[in-house]
Structure 1
Amino acid sequence: MPILGLPSSLYPTSPAHFDIEKVIRPNILALHPYRCARDDYSEGILLDANENALGHSIPSSSAQKATRHEPELAPELQSTLALDLHRYPSPTHDPIKSRLAELRGLPGPEYVFLGVGSDEVIDLLMRVCVAPEREKILTTPPTYGMYAVCAQVNDVGIVKIPLELSGDKGEGGEQGRFSVRVDEVKKAVDADPSIKLIFLCSPGNPTGTLITLSTVRSLLEYENFKGIVVVDEAYIDFADPDASAVSLVKEYANLCVMQTLSKSFGLAAIRLGIALAHPALIQILMNTKAPYNISTPTASLALSALSPSAVDAMREKVSTLVASRGALLQRLAEFASLGLGAAIGGNAANFVMVPVLEKSGSGKPDNTRAQKIYKTLAEEEGVVVRYRGGEPGCAGCLRITIGTEEENEVLLNRLGELLKKF
């Protein structure tokens, strides 16, 4: 069955054991997507979509001044109100996709899908690939929690193959703490052919550890796995750019790389997630998504954020945060005598993860002490970090996002005081 909207010349050819039509649920392949008004025409006197031709009713600054009942609108809101908010947004947003394709070294917008955060991409992938009650996904804990949440919402099974939980930090190579146990993943696939998606997080959340491209290749080329490998790269800009799996997208039709504007671009509030994959999978996602999933304000901000000058500014800020990450790790190491362990994981994201140890000096992680420090920091000291002691291999751990220089200093002072107190 052909994929609606995709020329047959763009069908996958590599790897040979992969056939996307056998991965996508039959009801999705047969789906005729809702055709919205803006799919046909977007210019002229638009009387086709039952929009409000008189525009929105939010008062301008001048109108507010005249009534004297409302405070003056901020300039940022004024510019938003100048957009055509009474019209439905573009269903495709090709200018944004083109900028993303260029930024990530892909041929064109046909390799890019936009979602309402990466969470929409995760949910859509499960909905189009994994049959409820019959088929499964595979995850590698400790990892991002939304994979399991989406699986439960969609009533699909989860096979969990924990990352390597012993050894050193795992900052490179095939071995080390929080690396993927490739042989175990392959065994799970052999034992359960209903696994349709493998989710890998690189750099990992909460591990901060990169997954090597050789690991990703090994799973993509494994003939017994007929599904799709999904690599979540929300934090990739804080790591070595050569580590991105996007470099494999043109080669492998069974790969989907997720990215976002929430982290390095600092646009968490606009909720723009990205899937980078072969055009066949992108077309399936386009056929399945809600008609106008990306709003006009979001699209306007995203397009601005992807301009050359804005990308340069993003990279400068990333460099600052990476330098701050190194400085914070050095300062945290000074708390070893107070019972704070050395950072674990690869430290390749915009956060670090450190274990709180027993005060007795045994060197063992202490969840009770970690929770007490976490709660006191948040509730009495005004510094909020994330407790991650319940995750596999993360006993006693606090995950700390890299803040501003001033924020990091406050954290260090108050954390040091609490380590002495508890």
Structure 2
Amino acid sequence: MTVANLTSPAFDLVKLTRPNILSLEPYRCARDDYKVGILLDANENAYGPSIYSGNVSSADSNAIIASDIIAGLHRYPDPHQEDVKQLLCNLRNAPTKDDPSVAPLTPDNLYVGVGSDECVDTIIRCFAAPGREKMLTCPPTYGMYAVAAQVNDVEVVTVNLDLETPGFPVRVDAIMDTLTNDPSIHLVYLCSPGNPTASLVDPASLKKILEHPTWNGIVVVDEAYIDFSPTGSSLAPWVTKYDNLLVMQTLSKAFGMAGIRLGVTFGSPSVARILNNVKAPYNISSLTSELGLKALSPAGVALMNKNIAAILVQRQRLLDELPMIPGVGNFIGGNDSNFLLVQILDKPDGVPSSAIALKLYTTLAEEKGVVIRFRGKEPGCPGALRITIGTEQEVTVLLEKVKETLAAIYNA
């Protein structure tokens, strides 16, 4: 299938990539060549993992019952993770399988990392030279972008989201002007749905940035929460059309697999190849890989969708019931994620107050056993709390404790 390439004519991967990265000869590990047979090439322990494999009493705290997941732990994991990548492609190809204008994603479009945080760091290391080149972010947004930039000595240029418009849309014209005037900016990080805004980036705005006539850089769209958005919202298939687009995802959120640390980056084969050249040879553990395969199996995806449906019911419940509590103000973000951003007022019929929101946050955590996130210091978020959608029982407790605590604060 031939799909038109819509990448900006200014995009030049060779000029964009750091020279030392471009000339890098990637480390070739033992499993690059052979994966089966009598494996005497990687200095592994042929006797297997030091985990007891017999039947043991549950009272024996020093023993772990063997399973198919731990049977091969004495061997290094697959450095390429082709099986995991294919299942990720299947997941994101499904909504576009009948669209002839979209080429199917293949494992060549993928880089997988130890959580999205490794993906963020690897992208910066490849395409932004320390002390010389920059990246652009749009606050309020995920804080790790700036942390990773600082670690890599890369300056962050900020163009705030539209803080006056509900949903915090991207200020696309301001971004375009900034990129025009500063060619040292090599990366743009956008969060969709945003964290903490819970709003999707408008595809038309993203398209305009990707087709910037003079800017040579890469747009990174972080879709960590995309499965809580309407079906078909993911822009991962766009990487088959735009060489200057990377789309990050994760198994931490919708799949409920935060503990295994599996992050995903979709890109054109040429860009994905550079990211894979830089990664550690065995960055994804065998345990992570096996659990990822189970989560991405048809049964795992079906369970994910069932859990998402339950979360969406509770999300609507919070949208309906939280504003009924005196002192709870407006929802100021979108409704496209598994959390909501809501303002707390200085009095039941007052104005947003970060002081009261902070008091509510700390009291809930320290006295009521309910932990949410204070976001009142973020641009455009006075008095804001970010509340993750929990189970039906957890939401019931949350509503009770918020009402009880706010009443106590106002009557103090």
Secondary structure of 1:79's match?
coil
| Counterpart contact for 2:162–2:170, Cα < 8 Å | yes
d(CA) in 1 for partners of 2:237, 2:28: 33
Tell me which stretches of 4 or more aligned residues in structure 1 moved more than 4 Å: none
Q: By how many angstroms is 1:360 displaced?
A: 6.5
Alignment length, in residue pairs? Answer: 397
Matches within 5 A, 1:339-350: 339-350=327-338
1:366-417 per-position Cα deviation (integer Å, ceiling 9, x unaligned): 1111111101101111000001111001111111100000000000000100
Q: Go from structure 1 to structure 2 and tell me whether the alpha carbon gap of 1:415 and 1:293 turns closer, same or farther (over 3 Å shift).
A: same
| 1:372 corresponds to 2:359 | yes
Correspondent of 1:42 among 23, 35, 47:
35
| Aligned counterparts of 1:112 and 1:179: Cα–Cα separation in 2 | 28
The answer as to whether partners of 2:8 and 2:212 remain within 8 angstroms in 1 is no
**d(CA) in 2 for partners of 1:144 and 1:82?**
35
1:319 equivalenced with 2:309 (yes/no): yes
Distance in 1 (CA, whole Å) between partners of 2:335 and 2:242 is 28
2:123 is aligned to: 125
Native 8 Å contact 1:213 1:243 kept in 2: no
C-alpha contact 2:7 2:210 (8 A) present in aligned 1: no
The corresponding residue for 1:200 is 190
User: TM-score under structure 1 normalisation?
Assistant: 0.91
Give distance in 2, aligned partners of 1:267 and 1:393.
Answer: 31
The Cα of 1:269 is off from its aligned counterpart by: 0.3
Alignment partner of 1:83 is 2:66: no
Residue equivalent to 2:101: none
SS at match of 1:230: strand
Q: Name the counterpart of 1:16.
A: 9
Does 2:250 align with 1:266? no
Q: Report the equivalent of 1:30.
A: 23
Pair 13,40 (structure 1): closer, same or farther in 2 beyond 3 Å: farther
TM-aligned CA deviation for residue 107 of structure 1: 3.0
- Structure 1 counterpart of 2:114, which letter? V
- Aligned residue identity for 1:401: T
Q: Tell me the equivalent position of 1:413.
A: 400
Kindly indicate whether the alpha-carbon contact (under 8 Å) linking 2:51 and 2:66 is maintained by their aligned counterparts in 1: no
RMSD of Structure 2 on Structure 1 (CA): 1.8
Between 235-244 and 109-118, report the one with greater CA deviation. 235-244
1:386 is aligned, of 373, 377, 380, to 373
Correspondence list, 1:10-409, <5 A = 14-62=7-55, 64-65=56-57, 70-71=60-61, 78-79=66-67, 82-105=70-93, 106-167=104-165, 169-170=166-167, 178-335=168-325, 338-359=326-347, 361-362=349-350, 364-409=351-396
C-alpha distance in 2 between matches for 1:57 and 1:243: 45
- Distance in structure 1 (CA, Å) of the matches to 2:162 and 2:78: 44
Q: CA deviation at 1:333?
A: 1.3
- Deviation, 1:316, is 1.5
User: 1:282 offset after TM fit, Å?
Assistant: 0.6
Asked if the contact 1:212–1:243 (Cα under 8 Å) also holds between the matched residues in 2, the reply is no
Distance 1:44 1:210 in 2: 48
CA deviation profile, 1:312-366 (whole Å, cap 9, x unmatched): 111121111112101111110111xx2110211112100011111111733x211
- How far the C-alpha of 1:59 sits from its partner, in A, is 2.0
* Amino acid in structure 2 at the alignment position of 1:79: S
Partner SS, residue 311 of structure 2: helix
2:248–2:263 Cα contact (<8 Å) kept: yes
Distance in 1, Cα, partners of 2:392 & 2:90: 33
User: Which segments of 5 or more consecutive residues in structure 2 lack a partner in the other structure?
Assistant: 94-103
Deviations 1:6-29 (A, max 9, x none): xxx99x883332111111101001
* Residue 261 to residue 361, structure 1, CA distance change in 2 (3 Å): same
- Name the residue aligned to 1:4: none
Mapped contact 1:385–1:400 kept (Cα < 8 A): yes
Cα offset, 1:72, TM superposition = 7.8
Match of 2:97 in 1: none
Q: Compared with structure 1, are the counterparts of its residues 237 and 81 closer, same or farther at alpha carbon in structure 2 (3 Å cutoff)?
A: closer
Structure 1 CA distance for aligned equivalents of residues 363 and 244 of structure 2:
46
Amino acid at match of 1:280: S
1:402 partner letter? I
Aligned-pair distance for 1:61?
A: 5.0
CA distance in 2, matches of 1:73, 1:383: 35
Aligned AA (2:126) = V
Q: Which amino acid aligns with 2:378?
A: E
- Cα distance change, pair 61–409 in 1 and its aligned pair in 2 (3 A): farther
Question: For the residues of structure 2 that align with 1:235 and 1:268, how far apart are their CA atoms?
Answer: 12
Structure 2 CA distance for partners of 1:288 and 1:333, relative to 1, 3 Å: same
Take 2:366 and 2:66, find their aligned partners in 1: how far apart are those partners? Answer: 37
Does the aligned pair in 1 maintain the 2:69–2:287 contact within 8 Å? Answer: no
AA aligned to 2:346 is E
Once residues 150 and 104 of structure 1 are traced to their aligned partners in structure 2, the CA distance between those partners, rounded to angstroms, is 27
Distance in 2, Cα, partners of 1:81 & 1:190:
51
TM-score (norm 2): 0.93
Letter aligned with residue 174 of structure 2: E
CA spacing shift, 1:262–1:41, aligned 2, 3 Å: same
Aligned with 2:357: secondary structure?
A: helix
